[in-house]
Amino acid sequence: MRVAVVGITGLVGTVLCKVLEERNFPIDEFFPVASERSVGKTITLKGKNYQVMSMTDAIKARPDIAIFSAGGSTSLEWAPQFAAVGTTVVDNSSAWRMDTTKKLIVPEVNAHLLTREDKIIANPNCSTIQMVVALAPLHRKYGIKRLVISTYQSFTGTGVKAVKQYRLEKKGFEAKPEEMAYHYPIFENCIPQCDVFLENDYTKEEMKLVNETQKILSSPDIKITATAVRVPVDGGHSESVNVEFHQPFDIQEVRAILNQAEGLVVLDDLAEKKYPMPLFAKDKDEVFVGRIRRDESIDNGLNLWIVADNLRKGAATNAVQIAAYLAKHNLINSTVTQTR
């Protein structure tokens, strides 16, 4: 298996390397790829050192699979060039998510849709991933009519610049304008703006939750509204999700379905004050769900609190899971008999 990671020096790229190691992903040749200013730097994977290479050199190497985490414009330019030489691309940016010719994949939900012909595969937005892991099995049983979503998203989701801004502010320093990832301080603050505002006054992040959820669940008729908030949490996104189903449900059956769902951990013991929090989800690959309760204000209403590590399941882990599925089912050029 010949594997490239594009954008390897970024936050998600670093976590991608950790996840590849932890899951013992089969790698015979490794190609770390980044922008020209990072070419020549040394990256260590599984105890072996590699020099960061350019996009052009990586394409010439014709890797079997390339995991991208380098931003939308980079993916739009370079992913087709990798695909043209036979490489299967798993892209972590928003570039291809709503492209009708590309599949948007959360392995626990819809990996079965993948085929050998899929050369560019989209990794969904971090907040969408964790939410659909919890919602998909309930949607199959009861049918979701409407979702009202409020997110509490870690600043790490914005990238290295946001992390630097937070750490400066936490130490008591005022970040200079050029050092700020946000228009306002993030330390001891909540910013009700994730990404840019659109013409409908929603942010891009909020509309990702709408559009991506409908696409992944193959249900464009689900009504969805969202408010996305950036919070001073060092790793981990939390979501309050209000669900209205078409069909009535039994709350104990809902708990049983969630307990049996792949990739999901139910943490919901009120007597012991146990519920999901980003503090406990950090550095874990699972999605955690709790505060499971009926919404008594409407028929067929349910409240869920969903938490996951946004850099892992929300980005790197989901991408590696897609790659592992492709390898296990022999859907890429290389022949792999077994993968975790």
> Looking at 55-59, 72-76, 333-337, which range is the least confident one?
333-337
Each residue's pLDDT tens digit, 66-113: 999 999 999 999 999 999 999 999 999 999 999 999 999 999 999 999
Q: What interhelical angle do 126-142 and 204-216 show, nearest 10?
A: 40
The residue ranges of every structural domain in the chain are: 2-95+315-328, 127-309
The confidence score (pLDDT) of residue 334 equals 56
What is the Cα 207 distance to its own chain's centre? Answer: 15
How far apart, in whole angstroms, are the C-alpha atoms of residue 93 and residue 90?
Answer: 9
How far apart, in whole angstroms, are the C-alpha atoms of residue 285 and residue 316?
Answer: 9
From the candidate CATH numbers 3.55.40.20, 3.30.360.10, 2.30.42.10, 3.10.20.90, the one assigned to the domain spanning 127-309: 3.30.360.10
For residue 33, what are the contacts with CB-CB under 8 A and spacing of at least 6? Answer: 4, 5, 6, 7, 8, 52, 53, 54, 55, 58, 66
Amino acid residing at 15:
V
How far apart, in whole angstroms, are the C-alpha atoms of residue 182 and residue 190?
Answer: 11
Options 17, 112, 126, 139, the catalytic residue = 126
How far apart, in whole angstroms, are the C-alpha atoms of residue 309 and residue 234?
Answer: 10
Q: Which DSSP helix (H) or strand (E) runs through 307? A: strand 301-308
How far apart, in whole angstroms, are the C-alpha atoms of residue 231 and residue 186?
Answer: 7
The confidence score (pLDDT) of residue 336 equals 40
The phi-psi region of residue 143 (left if phi > 0; otherwise alpha if psi is between -120 and 50; otherwise beta) is left
pTM: 0.95
335, pLDDT greater than 80: no
The confidence score (pLDDT) of residue 333 equals 75
Mean pLDDT of the chain: 96
- Residue 335 is given by DSSP the state -
Concerning whether 190 is annotated as a catalytic residue, the answer is no
Q: Taking residues 31-51, what's their average pLDDT?
A: 94
How far apart, in whole angstroms, are the C-alpha atoms of residue 88 and residue 332?
Answer: 7
Q: Taking residues 212-219, what's their average pLDDT?
A: 98
127-309 and 2-95+315-328 share a CATH fold: no
**Cα angle, residue 54 at apex, residues 53 and 56 outer, rounded to 5°:** 130
Each residue's pLDDT tens digit, 138-176: 999 999 999 999 999 999 999 999 999 999 999 999 999
How far apart, in whole angstroms, are the C-alpha atoms of residue 33 and residue 18?
Answer: 16
Residue % of the chain over a pLDDT of 90: 96
DSSP per position, 245-306: ESS---HHHHHHHHHHSTTEEE--BGGGTB---HHHHTT--SEEEEEEEEETTSTTEEEEEE
Place 339 in a pLDDT band, splitting at 50, 70 and 90.
very low
Options 17, 139, 194, 237, the catalytic residue = 237
Q: Are 319 and 298 in contact (CB under 8 A)?
A: no
From the candidate CATH numbers 3.10.20.600, 3.90.550.10, 3.40.50.720, 3.40.1380.10, the one assigned to the domain spanning 2-95+315-328: 3.40.50.720
Each residue's pLDDT tens digit, 274-295: 999 999 999 999 999 999 999 9
Q: Taking residues 319-332, what's their average pLDDT?
A: 96
Backbone angles phi, psi at 297, to 5 degrees: -90, -15
Concerning whether 237 is annotated as a catalytic residue, the answer is yes
Sign, CA dihedral 237-164-196-15, equals: negative
The confidence score (pLDDT) of residue 146 equals 98
25, pLDDT greater than 50: yes
